[in-house]
Homo-oligomer: A and B are copies of this chain.
Amino acid sequence: MVPQRVLADELRQHIIAGEFAPGSRLSESALAERFDVSRNTLREAFRVLSEQGLVEHIPHRGVSVASPTIADVVDIYRVRRVIECTALRESEPEHPAVQRMRQALAEAEEHLPAEDWQRVGSANMAFHLAIVDLADSPRLARTYSDVAAELRLAFLKIDDPRSLHEPFVRKNRAVLTALVERGPQAAADELERYLIASERSVLGAFARMGNG
């Protein structure tokens, strides 16, 4: 007995982990057998992932793992800028999420020398999730986590994890420093620079591998 709520989470983990390549088709019968659930239950889980943008559902052609295009990346970063920068700009300095920003950043810096991009990437993401939590908005947090998952898929298409994470830990440090020493507005400005640079980095990688 596999609750369908759990199944969707499990599928999301597998997809985000890169087990199913972006763009690859997800056969109903194959996955139903593999996870030992019925096709109906699997389809309910697919709906959830589809609404979250992790998989694409085309009628009578089944679902595929989403494969973000350049246009998607541009849009994802637009959302990030709107949500993250606003959350930071209007944040209160004493907000508990600031502490989580500190911790996440510390962890990223800790694993930086070992070049453990998996961990660095996760800590990096935790840093930005903490920024979003500054806004105290469940709905913004949910939207953000959706686009963050999509962005992970975009990262999966790029096989140069170093260029994606290494330069940005430093920039995160700059954001936190700005917030503490110069206030929310300065931090938001710093964050916007971060996001523009990060977007350019991803788009560059996409361009180098011949569109997307």
A-side residues, CB < 8 A to B, are 3, 5, 40, 43-44, 47-48, 51-53, 59, 75-76, 78-79, 82-83, 86, 135-140, 143, 147
Can you name the residue of chain B whose Cβ is closest to the Cβ of A140?
B79
A88 CB, nearest partner CB in chain B, Å: 12
Please, how many angstroms separate the alpha-carbon atoms of A136 and B82 in the complex? 12
* Interface SS of chain A: helix
Q: Which residue of B lies closest to A83 (CB)?
A: B82
- Establish whether residues A137 and B47, one from each chain, have CB atoms under 8 Å apart when the complex forms: no
The reply to whether B139 and A75 contact each other, CB–CB distance below 8 Å, is yes
State A53–B142 Cα separation when bound (angstroms): 11
**Is B44 touching A79 in the complex (CB atoms < 8 A)?**
no
**28 A-B residue pairings within 8 Å (CB atoms):** A3-B59, A5-B59, A44-B44, A44-B47, A47-B47, A47-B48, A47-B51, A48-B51, A51-B51, A51-B52, A53-B139, A75-B137, A75-B138, A75-B139, A76-B139, A78-B135, A78-B136, A78-B137, A78-B139, A79-B137, A79-B139, A79-B143, A82-B82, A82-B86, A82-B135, A82-B140, A139-B143, A143-B143
Closest chain B residue, CB of each to CB of A144: B143
Closest to A43 in B: B44
In the complex, A183→B136 CA distance in Å? 30
Instruction: With both chains docked as a complex, state the minimum distance between the C-beta of A38 and any C-beta of chain B, in angstroms.
Output: 10
Q: A78-B140, A82-B83 are in contact. List 20 more A-B contacts (CB 8 A).
A: A5-B59, A40-B40, A44-B44, A47-B47, A47-B48, A51-B51, A51-B52, A53-B139, A75-B138, A75-B139, A76-B139, A79-B137, A79-B139, A79-B140, A82-B82, A82-B135, A82-B137, A86-B86, A139-B147, A143-B143
In the assembled complex, the Cα of A140 lies from the Cα of B137 at a distance in Å of 15
Which residue of chain B lies nearest to A147 when distances are taken between CB atoms in the complex?
B139
Shortest CB distance A50–B (Å)? 8
